[in-house]
Chains A and B, each alone.
Chain A
């Protein structure tokens, strides 16, 4: 994990390396602590409560998805990184999901991109209301709307995927 000694410096220089990099086993018990670290880090580094709140949503929901759908294999560690070039912020989560989860994730992300973030969040609420016995599936839409970020998924070698959430500082 790395961070600037003097937080304002992070705004002055494009950063080719993550401000934060963490690797850990996909356990639910870690999520609260990592989210609150993310809140503290963004508040301290960038000095805005608004960004700290957005970071919490992005970190909570991306890590929940990653933990829920991670494979049980020994190399299924999660990686979380936070990067900034002084203009934007990027949260990136790499995981090794069960293969069965990939197509539904792809479909969900593609569906989201067809609507603006607010419309997509409202649509997710309506779907949840109409399908009381199905899982909530509010998380990704919430990340976009409440987190103020756009989402992208990249498939990497070894079956890993990387979810990237990018937004303005």
Chain B
């Protein structure tokens, strides 16, 4: 089993998390806790570390089912993109699968793309 597939999924009240492929994580629901990093920062970091250990060329983060998040949660995606961007050795493309029907995803991932376009890809689904 790959490192990525073995990452422990945290329990979070309002967001459902699944590892749906050896390089894909899917999140759905909402993230509006006061400090979502308590549940999710360590998880995203573990996925990042596992992706490097597995020498993945791409990680897919399917957030199309995240209907609403607060800015503290958006910060977690900024951090993940920054980790990949700052990686000196082999690194992977972080592909966010977003919904074109969810407003916050259109605005925030466009901004994120401008921050780290060399390591990010945005895929829109209906």
Contact = CB atoms under 8 A, between A and B. Distances in A.
B34 interface: yes
A102 to B, nearest CB: 20
Interface residues of B, number: 23
A125 B32 contact: no
Given A31-B32, A146-B103, A125 B115 contact: yes
Contact of B32 (A54, A60, A132): A60
Chain A interface mostly: helix
A46 to B, nearest CB: 15
Given A28-B34, A122-B114, A64 B103 contact: no
Contacts, number: 68
Interface residues of A, number: 27
Nearest to A121: B111
Given A61-B71, A125-B112, A136-B78, 18 more contacts: A31-B32, A32-B30, A53-B103, A53-B104, A64-B71, A64-B72, A122-B114, A126-B115, A128-B75, A129-B79, A129-B81, A136-B74, A138-B71, A138-B78, A139-B70, A142-B107, A145-B107, A146-B107
21 contacts: A32-B32, A35-B68, A53-B103, A57-B104, A61-B70, A61-B71, A122-B111, A122-B115, A125-B112, A128-B79, A129-B78, A129-B79, A129-B82, A129-B115, A129-B116, A136-B74, A138-B71, A138-B75, A145-B111, A146-B103, A146-B107
